[in-house]
Structure 1
Amino acid sequence: MIEKRWIHALEFTSEQQQAAGQLAESLKVSPSLATLLVQRGIHDFEQSRNFFRPEIKHLHDPFLMMNMDLAVQRLSSAITSGEKILIYGDYDVDGTTSVALFYGFLKKIYNNIDYYIPDRYEEGYGVSWHSIEWAQQNGFKLIVTLDCGIKSVDKVSAAAEYGIDFIICDHHRPGNELPAAVAVLDPKREDCLYPYKELTGCGVGFKLLQAFCIREDIDLEILFDFLDLLVVSIASDIVPITGENRVFAYYGLKKLNASPRVGLKALIQIAGMTGELDITNVVFGLGPRINAAGRIKHAREAVKLLLSEVEEEAFDFAQEINKHNSERRLFDTSITEQALSMIENDTWFSEAKSTVLYKEDWHKGVIGIVASRCIEKYYRPTIILTQSHGKAAGSARSIPGFDVYEAIEECADLLEQYGGHTFAAGLTLPIHNIEAFKSRFNDIVSSRMLPDQLVPVINIDMLLAIETITLKFYNVLRQMGPFGPGNMTPIFESRNVTLVGTPSLMKEKHIKFDVKQNSSQTFTAVGFGLAQFYPDIANGRPFSICYCLEENNFRDKKTLQLSLKDIKLH
């Protein structure tokens, strides 16, 4: 277990202290809660109201996005002319929810459409040559890509020779050259002045449909009915839940909890998820199951589920996808064990600042998950490679503060293809280049990584006296959600706490005990994966804790408990 660094939020300036005091007074909340708001950039009553009560009217004008006029014009003309339209999406959660949202909405007003998801193993990421041929053979005149396409320069040009136009909706970083599409919608374009840059691929597709509804005078409520799909993409793609994403997530969760579409409802039931769903539930409960379809079989199955309108059919689809997820877990566990063993038994890794592993028979569908598992244990940028069509195909994952996409880009001459984000990327390279890539990638990481960055960090929002924790405190805290990147669940530290009674172990991995501080009330604390602290705590060694607050609902009795993130022994 790697020891973690606890980093506290910076001390407030006098202006911030003043703002927190005024907020506490105007909102009638405790100074601690007002401090949390100021930490999140909320300084006055008006900002607080917008934060606690996001409104649809806070969404930006979609026509502020570069090329939006052109995209809407082309989509409208295709529908008016009766052209055949193909909705094309990637095979992950963002891609499949994008296709389900875009196709599901358009299908309500136009029939001459179909959707296409590339096969992860036969076609790979993004727009494939096979899909261009298929579109030409089936008479499509317009392809709308979602969550991909920004680097498909050659494919878009080839399609133009067939008389096929493209509208690209993407949120990945563009390369040096943009595809010659009719419209390229991507907030990360350097020449795009759209105010919010962190939309998912599904979010960009939503903005196109929002603009289309405005131009064609279609009731936007019809589009807003698809927000349950959009929040699944936002949660699963781990994008910041700020700005427009916060509005989408807020209303998407309302929809997901009140009246989810038939397919999502079936998946929620199959997953055994009860109670109110939040971003975390979506990330760990729904996302992996939707992803499993493309990892184990074909992502088209996920789209069929998300578009289902008949409960019995949706339940069958959900059961099938759940089976795929169980298979995925078996692959994940087995390959992770092999990967960790390779790291432990190779002396090269004892000095390395990165991990690059290759094994030709690893399942391509789970290598990204395995990379994340390796980071959990060794905490350094990690790339897992396997063989695919005679090449090495891989997934990269990073740690906070290190841009893995940028590092991969510096190895471009060794690669055939790459793309992605700061924290996650994909790449393909000739097998004979693996050793050269491994060495150069590690040199890049070593030259940029500070020693402190290789130690996991827990960012603590504030010191909190346990006696200040009340149900009212928690209820206000909960309204600060949806929580996620950019607005993380607050983490508190309480020092020199006292054990009450005897701690217990759960499955030899987790710890549970009652705790108090001075004369405070007693709270139950649960620490998943923190069993190593059991002997010291049981023997009465003094300690401090950092934790999130959560509500435990057992036999219809709700109590507050502390969800431990770490323990520090004194």
Structure 2
Amino acid sequence: MLYSQYRWNTPNIDLEAAAGLSQALSVSALVGRLLVSRGVHNETEAERFLHPDLGQMYDPYLLRGMNEAVPRIRLALERGEHILIYGDYDADGVSSTSLMIHLMRHLGASYDIYIPHRSNEGYGLHNHALDWAHQQGVTLIITVDTGISAVDQIAYAATLGMEVIVTDHHEPPETLPEAFALINPKLPDCPYPFKGLAGAGVALKLAQALIGEVPGEWMEIAAIGTVADLMPLEGENRVIVSYGVESMRGSRLPGISALLEISGVDQSQVTSVNIAFAMAPRINASGRLDHAGRAVSLLTTENLDEAHMLAGQLDLLNRERQQVVEGIVQEANAQLEQKIQLRSGKVPDVIVLAGEGWNVGVVGIVASKILERYYRPTLILGIDPETGVCKGSARSIDGLDIYEALTACKHTMDHYGGHPAAAGMTLHRDQLEELESGLNEFAASVLTEADFMPERLADDECRISDVPLKVIQEIDRLQPFGMSNPSPRFVLRNVMVKETRTMGREKRHLKLVLEQDGQQLETVAFGKGALAEYLPAGTFIDVMGELSINEWNGMRKPQLMLQDIHVPQAQVFDLRGNADPLNAMKQFLGSLEVHLRYTSGSIGAIVRKDIDVSEGNSLYEPCLWVYDRKVGLFPYNAAAQHYGQEQVRTLFVFDTPETPEQLDAMLAMFSGAENIILLHGSGNRRDRLQMPSRDLFKRIYMLVSKWRAEPVEEQEITPVLSRQCGCSPRMITMMLDVFEELSFITRKDGKISFVDNPPKRDLASSRHYQALENMAETEQVLLDASTPQLTQWMISRMKGVS
């Protein structure tokens, strides 16, 4: 049994409303249900959702501060003042800054830009940057995607004679800066109807207020910031991204075309998903490993050659970023395992990890990866070894507002800011322990055990027959997909694995062919290649994923992009004959970690006394049992004695039982085991049993009868009979047991005597014969049967003793 990584939930849908939409829009019942699950309940709402229009955008002057900001900017243009655009280094900040550059060019303004260096300066306004701006003759600063918390810095700018217009979308603090104008839809007294704008969206609203309808290329840039910053794709954001993506398909911006090309995206088919997973990571790589100015240059250049050069540089930075992330993830995991061991195997409610030399530009990505594995709110911080200053990023789970949690511990930090799901912070390393303690104390007061089980919402359950090409094409009408309008996920239950194979140079990806009711569906799972050997053909599984259309050589087929998997029945895994069974055990536990849901006492192993499996998994000590012929299986370590066999869900068998009775006793003892992994070798073939036959017994009987004159030493004739009949000495001994039971021979003092004229008795009536037959069959299956035969045989025995 493999558990799903996530808890699957499907919404309660108003089926009557869904049927009405399906009929009114002439779409499938499935698409009708998808619309209802997204808050669309009537035909009018459906038209707005399916056909985003510029007419759905709000008047920018509804934003508080816009009435003050626009006249001030126009005055600056009239006076020829030097304006500074002060941005941020993430993809939203880059987009916001780039959009403002296009605006300044359009207005003919005298301007400069400043984006702080992520590693050297950190987030937000800085006084030294304001000093520089003052030296450049700046009199007006316009912030984008930053500034709402810069109380002291904006006050300092005022002392230098510079006025500041803040455009931001982050959560406002209790004390607001005294800027010339504050434009942020999240301000408590801001009447703007839509609160979900990205920083680039707010910058776009400023541009609309200044010039009216903006060029389509600016919508492309705003779309990048909106998608990259994980803003909800509903309301006004849906309009921005829809128009941006449509414009992007024929973009006149050299940087957009070059970035899509280097990312391997067909520009004519670009979607919001491509923005999220192809464009945004490369833009972000600039600010993470270098300076965000390189990405700004890409989005604002008018030269195609320069655009290709810059796009290539960002692509290389992104590859370097991936390597840096992997290195930090390994160090962070090792550090976390030590913490878990000190906590007796318990993962902290909030994970706080810090390391010297960790690149602060990628700590947010590392935090996401640690969170994905352990599903705990996670802070990753890089420590400057000289100053002791820590800069980090946090990522959180649904149950914990990380901004609120940090606010409860704000006395430990020099600076922090962010959203409920993500945040950044700066503090001294001496405060790390107190911050970690405070966050865990806060989490303990708000989180329950259920919060630590990751949940993934599936839009609907369906069968393969429900999703032909026509329906998948209809689903595509719900684009653009992103936050609050995710690409629809579906659950398909009780589908059979028809074919399993890996893909990619390093076999990192998985491809399955699934079958149900005679219909097949190809399924691809990126990064799940390790599951291939654990999903043999014939396995019935439940899957969750996103539907798409695979186009190859002119053929179009439905395809499921698999995100999660569940095997609902007990499984037997055949890893027999492995040269290094301990390493095989460790690999098994590592490959299937998220699908086995380890808990203390859930891993068991049946071993010989000379095998040490304590290093099988450093987080969960396996419970060890040893087989003894007299007393059966008995616990061999403290973990087994403490937890007992009832807790075991994953059982590793290093040595096979010697008899069917021992096997059934083992299966009965571990009746709660959901996975049995066979790691035994092929045994000593010279000591193997073979299926008994009447001819073989007749032959042995004739050979033994040659010594009828006088008793013979059993120890002497056993090897002789073994050589003459091609049977193992063990087999000979067990056949002699049968002869003795049937009174064909007698045994005394290690000697065998032949009985003349024994009673006529059927071999099959012998208890020893039946035991030999069962033992030979068991041994043959366990050691020689094919994997399908072995697993089916084991599962049938498991059912028989349950």
The TM-score range, normalised by the shorter chain, is over 0.9
Q: 1:44 aligns with which of 42, 45, 60?
A: 42
Distance in 2, Cα, partners of 1:8 & 1:329: 32
User: Aligned-pair RMSD on alpha carbons?
Assistant: 1.7
Partner of 1:217: none
After TM superposition, list the pairs within 5 Å mapping 1:58-73 onto structure 2.
Answer: 58-73=56-71
Alignment match, 2:211 = 213
* Match in the other structure for 2:350: 354
Counterpart Cα distance in 1 of 2:21 and 2:407: 45
Match of 1:383 in 2: 379
TM-score under structure 2 normalisation?
Answer: 0.68
Deviation at 1:38, TM superposition (A): 0.8
Distance in 1, matches of 2:109 and 2:459, equals 52
Could you tell me how far 1:260 is from its partner in structure 2?
A: 4.9
Q: Which amino acid aligns with 2:517?
A: N
- Cα pair 1:123 1:130 within 8 Å, conserved: no
Counterpart position of 1:107: 105
Q: Is the 8 A contact 2:548 2:560 kept in 1?
A: yes
Equivalent of 1:253 in 245, 254, 274: 245
Does 1:427 find its partner at 2:428?
no
Secondary structure in structure 2 of the residue aligned to 1:258: coil
What is the DSSP-based 3-state SS (H/G/I as helix, E as strand, rest coil) of the residue aligned with 1:241?
A: coil
SS in 2 for 1:248: helix
The 2-side partners of 1:53 and 1:417 are apart by 43
Counterpart CA distance in 1 for 2:334 and 2:273 is 30
Aligned partners of 1:311, 1:489: CA distance in 2, in Å?
33
Deviation at 1:343, TM superposition (A): 1.1
Secondary structure of 1:419's counterpart equals strand
Deviation at 1:113, TM superposition (A): 1.2
- In structure 2, the partner of 1:172 is 170
Whether 1:303 and 2:300 are equivalent positions in the alignment is no
Q: Secondary structure at the match of 1:522?
A: strand
Secondary structure of 2:67's partner?
helix
Task: Tell me which of 156, 175, 184 is aligned to 1:186.
Answer: 184
Aligned residue in 1 for 2:259: 267
Contact 1:228 1:260 in 2 (8 A): no
Unaligned runs of 5+ in 2: 569-802
Q: Return the offset for 1:287.
A: 1.0
| Aligned residue identity for 1:548 | E
Where 1:272 maps in the other structure, the secondary structure is coil
When residues 31 and 539 of structure 1 are mapped into structure 2, their CA distance, relative to the original with a 3 A threshold, is: closer
Gaps of 5+ in 1: 215-219
Size of the aligned set, in residue pairs, is 559
Cα shift readout 1:486-519 (whole Å, capped 9, x = no counterpart): 011111112211233x311234443212112113
Match of 1:288 among 281, 287, 303: 281
Tell me: CA distance 1:239–1:348, structure 2 relative to 1, closer, same or farther (3 Å): farther
Pairs within 5 Å for 1:84-483? 84-214=82-212, 220-222=213-215, 224-274=216-266, 276-346=269-339, 347-348=341-342, 350-351=345-346, 352-388=348-384, 389-483=387-481
Match of 1:503 among 493, 500, 503: 500
104-113 vs 236-245, greater mean Cα deviation: 104-113
Contact persistence 1:498–1:518 (CA under 8 A): no
Partner Cα distance (2:240, 2:542) in 1:
37
User: 1:212, CA displacement in angstroms?
Assistant: 1.2
The 3-state SS of whatever aligns with 1:365 is coil
Structure 2: distance between partners of 1:81 and 1:286? 38
Residue pair 1:171, 1:200 contacting (<8 A) in 2 also: yes
Deviation at 1:303, TM superposition (A): 0.9
Q: For each residue in 1:108-156, what CA deviation from the matched residue of structure 2 results, as whole angstroms up to 9, or x when unmatched?
A: 2213112111122232111111111011101111000000000111111
In the TM superposition, residue 396 of structure 1 has moved relative to its aligned partner by: 0.5
The residue that corresponds to 1:56 in the other structure is 54
What SS class does the counterpart of residue 362 from structure 2 fall into? Answer: helix
- Report the TM-score when normalising by structure 1: 0.95
2:277 and 2:560 map into 1 onto residues whose CA distance is: 20
Q: For 1:54 and 1:19, locate their aligned partners in 2 and report how far apart those are by CA, in whole Å.
A: 21
1-side partners of 2:19 and 2:222: how far apart?
Answer: 37
SS in 2 for 1:479: helix
Q: Cα distance, 1:534 vs. partner?
A: 3.3
- Tell whether the 8 Å contact from 2:7 to 2:453 is kept in structure 1 after alignment: no
Q: CA deviation at 1:289?
A: 1.1
Question: Are residue 29 (structure 1) and residue 39 (structure 2) matched?
Answer: no
Closer, same or farther in 2 for the Cα pair 1:390/1:341, shift >3 Å? closer
1:140-182 Cα offsets, whole Å, 9 max, x none, are 1100000000011111111111111111000001111111111
State the alpha-carbon separation in 2 of the partners of residues 539 and 290 from structure 1.
42
1:67/1:2 Cα in 2 relative to 1: closer, same or farther (>3 Å)?
A: farther
Q: Give, in whole Å, the separation in 1 of the partners of 2:263 and 2:148.
A: 34
Distance 1:128 1:280 in 2: 35
User: How many angstroms does 1:230 deviate by?
Assistant: 0.9
Structure 1 residue 533: deviation in Å?
A: 4.3
Residue 3 of structure 2 contacts residue 567 of structure 2 at CA under 8 Å; is this kept in 1? no
Equivalent pair of 1:530/1:566 in contact (CA under 8 Å): no
